[in-house]
Amino acid sequence: MTQRSVSTLIIGVIRASLLTAAIGLLTACQSGYLLDLDYVQEKLDIFAIPTLPCPTVRILKAGEHYVRYQKGAGRDITDIEMEAQIAEVKFTCGMGSRDNEPITPQSATWNVVVELDISIRARSGPATQHETIESIPFFVALVNRFGQVVEKQLFSAEITFPKDVGPTSLTHKENLILSIPVRDLDEARQYETIVSFQLDQEQLDQIQNRKSRTNSS
């Protein structure tokens, strides 16, 4: 028998011994019951990409529209300078450790990173007479499972409308990255991320009036 054949035989014996030991452990743990191959293939996919818990993301219904009128008392459609709508929010989730930060028993040990792609459809109104840069305030809020706002960040979408072309429609994109500290990754499922325009009291009253007219008709 050659040296190569002896080496191959030794390796084969070692592999067989390891397999026998593994089967013995499974048998001992399962009280004589050994999982068959079909069960393993059905229940366990070790090559699958793990699903990361991610907070839900939605657009706040009451704050998805934004209307700005020109200065003055008029609130007719001809007095609109600009109007906008949050058309779509796409999101992805990632994960990052907090190894560089001091850890206490009460502190979070992970960051769930949420990337938001926000599409805002905007339209200049009849009252727009010249090129203008509109600053539209919006916010992203993090709400816990009790409906409490635990964090809110304000942002501004800067939209430029060209002059001398009449009412113009365009789509503006905003990309934001949020970091949510959690002690346990499953804790991320308990949160909800809300996107909305930041409305003033007059705009909120207009929404309420429109609802009242709709309900009465």
- Same-domain check for residues 23 and 84: no
In-domain check, residue 48: no
Do residue 110 and residue 183 come from a single domain?
yes
Q: Using the structure block, give the residue that is written with the tokens 């009465």.
A: 216
Cα(68)–Cα(86) distance, rounded to whole angstroms?
Answer: 15
Domain assignment present for residue 111? The answer is yes
pLDDT of residue 99: 55
Residues 100 and 35 grouped into a single domain:
no
Cα–Cα dist 92/98, whole Å: 20
Please, which pLDDT band fits residue 3 given cuts at 50, 70 and 90? very low
DSSP code for 162? P
Q: Kindly state whether residues 123 and 147 are assigned to the same domain.
A: yes
Query: Are residues 93 and 119 both part of a single domain?
Result: yes
Q: In this predicted structure, what is the pLDDT of residue 193?
A: 93
159 lies in some domain: yes
Are 146 and 184 found together in one domain? Answer: yes
- The answer to whether residue 150 is domain-embedded is yes
Do 105 and 200 share a domain, yes or no?
yes
Judged against a pLDDT cut of 50, whether residue 34 lies above it is answered with: no
Confidence of residue 168 (pLDDT cuts 50, 70, 90): confident
Domain count within the chain: 2
| b/e map 141-155, b = 16+ CB within 10 Å | bbbeeeeeeeeeeee
Query: Which range, 2-16, 22-36, 158-172, is most confident?
Result: 158-172
The pLDDT value given to residue 25:
37
Which range is least confidently modeled, 31-45, 46-60, 161-175?
A: 31-45
Q: Please give the share of the chain, as a percent, with pLDDT higher than 90.
A: 28
107 and 11, same structural domain?
no
Least confident interval from 75-79, 97-101, 155-159: 97-101
Q: Is this prediction's pTM over 0.75?
A: no
Q: Do residue 78 and residue 178 come from a single domain?
A: yes
Same domain, 126 and 28: no
Structural domain that includes position 71: 56-216
Both 126 and 209 in one domain: the answer is yes
Show Cβ contacts of residue 207 under 8 Å, excluding neighbours closer than 6 positions: 62, 65, 199
